[in-house]
Amino acid sequence: MLDGRLRCCWQRSQRTVRAGRSIGYSTLWVYNPSRVNVTLDSIEPVDASPNVRVIEAWLPVDSPRCQLAAVESSVKPAPSTCRVPVDGFVLSSGTAVGQGPRLVVELQGDERGTYRAGGFAVHYHEGLIHYTTLYSNGFTLNVR
């Protein structure tokens, strides 16, 4: 079921990485302006090139060190102690626009080439009802 409950901001990005290595995209924020909490389930690229995949999706622990690690995740991996998995994360209701948590998506291309996606699908649920929200801003990943 599609729903507009979650909101985010994504800046189209282009990154370069070596084959077999993942790279973090940390310019995605999610927030929940509704009146009920929702639980995040997963995120996946939409209309993506074959052989590009999400290795991990996470939110940083709420500390200055971990917030910085999330920002730098496109350059170096964040410590595991700074990562809160997206799967099962409860996004509180009434999150103000622009005040939601940063979402980091670790992407990997297995072979040399250029990979693209038109956006992302964020899957979440409220109780037994599951939703998907689509975000149209995508990425280009150059694998060398």
Mean pLDDT check: name the lowest of 3-7, 37-41, 93-97, 102-106: 3-7
pLDDT in tens, 10-30: 445 676 777 778 888 776 788
Shortest CA distance to 32 belongs to which of 85, 86, 89, 96? 96
Q: Is the pLDDT of residue 109 over 50?
A: yes
3-state SS, residue 6: coil
pLDDT in tens, 22-80: 888 776 788 888 899 999 999 999 988 888 889 999 999 999 999 999 988 888 889 99
Q: Which residue has the tokens 């670790």?
A: 106
Q: Which residues, 6 or more positions from 15, have their beta carbon under 8 angstroms from its beta carbon?
A: 23, 25, 74, 139, 140, 141, 142
Structure tokens at 29: 């924020």
Structure tokens at 140: 């280009």
